[in-house]
Structure 1
Amino acid sequence: MPPTLASLVHHSALKLTVRAGGDRLDVPVRWAHVSELADPVPYMEGGELLLITALQLDAEDAEAMRRYVKRLVGAGVVGLGFAVGVNYADIPKAVVEAAQHEGLPLLEVPRRTPFLAISKAVSAAIAADQYRAVTAGFAAQRELTRQALSDGPEGLLAALASQVDGWAALYDASGAVVATAPEWAGRRAARLTADVERLRERPAPASAVVGAGGGDDDGERDRVELHSLGTGRRPRAALAVGTAATLGTAERYALHSAIALLTLTTERSRSLQAAEQRIGAAVLRMLLAGEPDHARAVAGDLYGELLDAPYRIVVAESASPPAGATAPEGKASRPTAGALVAADTNGDPLGGLTECLESAAARAGEAVLVVPEGERLVVLAVDGGAAVGACEEFAAALEGARAEASASSAVPGSASGSGSSGSSGSSGSSVSSGYSGHSGDEDELVVGMSGPAGPIAAAAAYKQAEQALSVARRRGRVLVGHEQLAAGSVVPLLADDAVRAFADGLLRPLYAHDATGRGDLVASLRAWLSRHGQWDAAAADLGVHRHTLRYRMRRVEEILGRSLDDPDVRMELWLALKTTAAVGE
């Protein structure tokens, strides 16, 4: 610890005598300073032992001494050393009484003790304290390194908590608590979720000092330091360290060592990440090629367990709207998921989804295979596992934010409606302003998820995911699962350009006929098909005689050159009518 007044008094070579404030000698001394100025306060920083001979002071004036000592105390001076035998044979009573009144320790310096000796003693003690701190820091670094190598992050946290006499917690990239030391610190660490989230929004490295005071359950207030871990713009993890007081030099060394070691642990090298991605891509290619045995051999321990249970394939794309696409005049452009996650993923929704899935899988101790393919992401995740659940939650959050932003942009006079970004104190306004003047530069996240599958059905599962992705894009949804296609209607699948072109070509002659005003063949055909060819029921729906309807159906056959007795023809006409109706809606 740094030198104190008590340690100086006990220094045998200095021969100092306590004349006042003997109960306050444990205060640390930052420096020893000599000043004969009548007012040295402007040159004080606090924590000094001031040494004087009272050369320019009327040390016997009680009022002047009270003012002098009071100003010293106000400036943070921790002690006053008065040399006797120079200007005064003894310390004047006025100085002693003023020191006693203000509670300022007063030390008598004998004539044979030069001020330089006191300054050297303080300097040597400070240097020794710094050396001890550095030595302790190196020892802590060795211990932290040993724990990190033998027991991983958990062992490192335990060693760090011991070094700082407090607690430590590690958070993953999503802000969830991964490990704490001691175990009882879990509740305190969980209270810092919002603070960790705010820290993650800042480029790494970043730090903050917050309070994680307990409630009635522990009755303590901690000083907590938060530090981001990582070398990229997006921190991959965060460290929290809680202590009862400000960290000392040795504790600070230990903390910095822990930050470096945890960064190395959590921020894997680029080459290792690239190697794992290549293995994952190879496993995926083999599965899609119908070679599950080879895929399992290549997967090894890295992804092997993923192939031992049913899994789902997720295909995600960051697809921009068509170039030059603009919102209809007078309407706000539809909010994109890319803008919704911009604050949390720096405009990279695929990166945000990857981070979310990998963090969830890591917390659950399950494998997940993530393969980036340009603007597409392919994921193999355990069916019913944490990664699949995280994907659904991620999409649901974006859907909810999109709906909220759409509602905000519809408010008259809002930023989106006026085409200006605007600014408002509310979060809703700030979200909606992110979509005003949307020009297609921001990416929109679209996700398709397969049903449960096994290694031998990977190709089919991939096809399911792609079909679900296509439907999600057409519906304007963030996520569509294969089950939703099976349980829903086939009509949304008709919104394909090729299907629409076929429908338009098939029905164009009927629309051309109706445009001349010589009959309503399209409506009559729709009514007749919807009534399964029942003449009376269809005629009643149209409000015409059944013979009129029979005539119109003969005209349909003549114009199209097809027989309505053919079930394939009826099916094609019905689907064509549904397709044009869907486009009209």
Structure 2
Amino acid sequence: MVSLAELCTVLGTHLIPVNGRSLPARDLTGVHVSELEDPTPYLDGGELLLTTGMPLGGNPAATGRYVQRLRSRGVHALGIGLGPWLASVPDYLSAACDEAQIHLLAVPDGVPFQNVSRAFWRLSARTGEAELLGSLGTQTSLAQAAMRPGGAAAVIRGLAQALGGWAAFLPSGAEPARYWPESTVTLLPLLREETLRLNRAGTHAAATFELHGQPVVEYPISAGGRIHGFLAVGPGRKLAAPDRQVIMTVCTLLALKARQREAASDAAAVLEAAVAKLVLHGHTEAARILAEDAGHPELPRRMRVLALAAPGDSVPGQLLLAAPALKPAPGVPPLTARLPDCTLRHERDGVLYVLLPEDGSTGAGDTGAGTSHAWNEAADVPAEPAELSGAVSDPVSLSEVPGVLPGLRRALAQAPAGTLAGTAAPAHAAAQAWVQELAGYSRADLVGTVTEYLRHRGHWENASRALGIHRNSLRHRMALVSSLLGVDLDDPDVFAPLWLELRQREA
């Protein structure tokens, strides 16, 4: 941009301040020539208006009205071309301009207005070229930063510094936000809320909103037909064209980084699906070698196998999001792992098999804490839990995984929609439910009590001695157990599976 002071310096004696006021560094929006009595319909404000003095009317009253019209339009300066109409600048014009705070200048006789216009546009072109070169330098620096490790954070920092404000990138999924400066962290909850609102409204183009009374501009980061996150910018000044070019460059760099991560993730998913397939087919050693080569954490010694199926064309991501809502059958523990992070999975014959470590972790390492944000991605839309069915095996060693698959498929085929079945026999499943019920009683150790009672085949003296309690206390506890479970512990169909489950628990 070009200031009035800069223009006067370049033009020298061809543009002379009249009223003696110091010229500010405020930028001019343009130079306009008009001999109309009211030129304001053709002005935007901030201009240097040039005239020969014809519209002034030749008297103080008409001149005052003319100057007031210019003031109401926000004209920055008035230049009077001396010559046929005015040999000198009238004092009443100078006084009116002083009152309206419009800078008054004189163009000497014989100096074409075109000289002033040409000088303005030459300076504008030079300034624009300098801004463009600065913008290109900034864009080059940002591109170089994006190539380094942690490039996204460096790009966000460089953007915020270039704009004199703050910037934040809110990626989809559990990936943490990148922002600069550090104080921007306090804005993240509001930014996420506003971003989700815009996303629900289907606003997938640049949008502007206010936070704490300050304007924020937000841009979607899209690549491959998916929204990978949003870039939010709180500029410290009004955005110019070069600033917008820098922002669009950052959007492109973030989209490229997202595509790189997506490609790496897809490649890792293919390798981990191959690991799961090898385990399911009994090639345990080959699975261990491939997992090590793929950078996956060491395979656990024991696993549970989860099978999921739903009618229609639900993708794995939808099934894994819906699975925790399945109602477990008696004796079947609920799904506690963060299933979308379970990477060892393989789809075959319309069934998704997922290998879950016995301890309930995801098996994918620490993916970092964070809230998952759905940016209108189909894979983030859960399947209907009412249509989904599942079955999960008991913990088995890796080498035993293929052996549980037939029973797992049978259990899945028999599981009603919306439920999670187990592979244990009905009696075993009932015994698991009984043990869970006993373990949930907090006022006495009923699990230990029943274990010793069955271990000593119902002999009160021996069982009470092993427990270190009086036999009347043992009788009281066993009466409580019978009431709690609603079964007869002397029934062989009850105590046999219950004893086996308690032994399994001890092991």
1:334-349 alignment runs, 5 A limit: 349=318
Aligned length: 407
Determine if contact 2:342/2:354 at 8 Å carries over to the other structure. Answer: no
Q: 1:272 and 1:304, CA in 2 relative to 1: closer, same or farther beyond 3 A?
A: closer
Greater relative contact order (CA < 8 Å, ≥ 6 in sequence)? 2
Identical-pair percentage: 26
1:257-315, Cα deviation, whole Å (9 max, x unpaired): 11100000012488666544432321110121222332232234645116368776655
The answer to whether 1:27 aligns with 2:26 is yes
Distance across 1 between alignment mates of 2:266 and 2:42: 58
Distance across 1 between alignment mates of 2:347 and 2:65: 74
Distance across 2 between alignment mates of 1:351 and 1:192: 28
Q: 1:291 and 1:128, CA in 2 relative to 1: closer, same or farther beyond 3 A?
A: same
Residue aligning to 2:79: 81
Distance across 1 between alignment mates of 2:349 and 2:57: 83
Distance across 2 between alignment mates of 1:184 and 1:388: 30
- Displacement of 1:136 after TM fit? 1.5
Q: Secondary structure at the match of 1:39?
A: coil
1:241-263, Cα deviation, whole Å (9 max, x unpaired): 22222223332222111110000
- Displacement of 1:448 after TM fit? 6.1
Q: 1:238 and 1:81, CA in 2 relative to 1: closer, same or farther beyond 3 A?
A: same
1:89-108 alignment runs, 5 A limit: 89-108=87-106
Determine if contact 1:22/1:105 at 8 Å carries over to the other structure. Answer: yes
Output the amino acid matched with 2:418.
G
Q: Secondary structure at the match of 1:319?
A: coil
Distance across 2 between alignment mates of 1:374 and 1:222: 55
Output the amino acid matched with 1:73.
R
The answer to whether 1:67 aligns with 2:9 is no
Determine if contact 1:199/1:207 at 8 Å carries over to the other structure. Answer: no
- Displacement of 1:149 after TM fit? 0.8
Q: 1:56 and 1:70, CA in 2 relative to 1: closer, same or farther beyond 3 A?
A: closer
The answer to whether 1:282 aligns with 2:282 is no
- Displacement of 1:96 after TM fit? 2.0
Distance across 1 between alignment mates of 2:86 and 2:276: 91
Residue aligning to 2:416: 474
Q: 1:288 and 1:371, CA in 2 relative to 1: closer, same or farther beyond 3 A?
A: closer
1:443-500, Cα deviation, whole Å (9 max, x unpaired): 95666666777755655787898788668x72536x78999x78559xxxxxxxxxxx
Output the amino acid matched with 1:46.
G
The answer to whether 1:50 aligns with 2:49 is yes
Is there any run of 5+ residues in structure 1 with no aligned partner, and where?
214-220, 322-337, 339-344, 355-359, 398-439, 490-529, 533-566, 569-585
Residue aligning to 1:167: 166
Distance across 2 between alignment mates of 1:307 and 1:162: 45
Determine if contact 2:284/2:399 at 8 Å carries over to the other structure. Answer: yes
Residue aligning to 1:520: none
Residue aligning to 1:423: none
Output the amino acid matched with 1:95.
L
Decide which of 278, 283, 286 is 1:291's aligned counterpart: 283
- Displacement of 1:24 after TM fit? 6.5
Determine if contact 2:275/2:344 at 8 Å carries over to the other structure. Answer: no
Residue aligning to 1:250: 242
1:49-448 alignment runs, 5 A limit: 49-62=48-61, 64-151=62-149, 152-174=151-173, 177-201=176-200, 206-213=205-212, 222-268=214-260, 275-300=267-292, 302-305=294-297, 307=299, 315-320=307-312, 349=318, 368-369=343-344, 377-379=352-354, 383-384=360-361, 444=387
Determine if contact 1:449/1:464 at 8 Å carries over to the other structure. Answer: no
Output the amino acid matched with 1:196.
T
Distance across 2 between alignment mates of 1:188 and 1:245: 19
1:468-507 alignment runs, 5 A limit: 474=416, 476=418, 488=433
Q: 1:90 and 1:190, CA in 2 relative to 1: closer, same or farther beyond 3 A?
A: same
1:153-178, Cα deviation, whole Å (9 max, x unpaired): 11222222222222222212148752
Output the amino acid matched with 2:83.
G
Distance across 2 between alignment mates of 1:306 and 1:259: 37
- Displacement of 1:148 after TM fit? 1.0
- Displacement of 1:20 after TM fit? 4.8
The answer to whether 1:36 aligns with 2:35 is yes
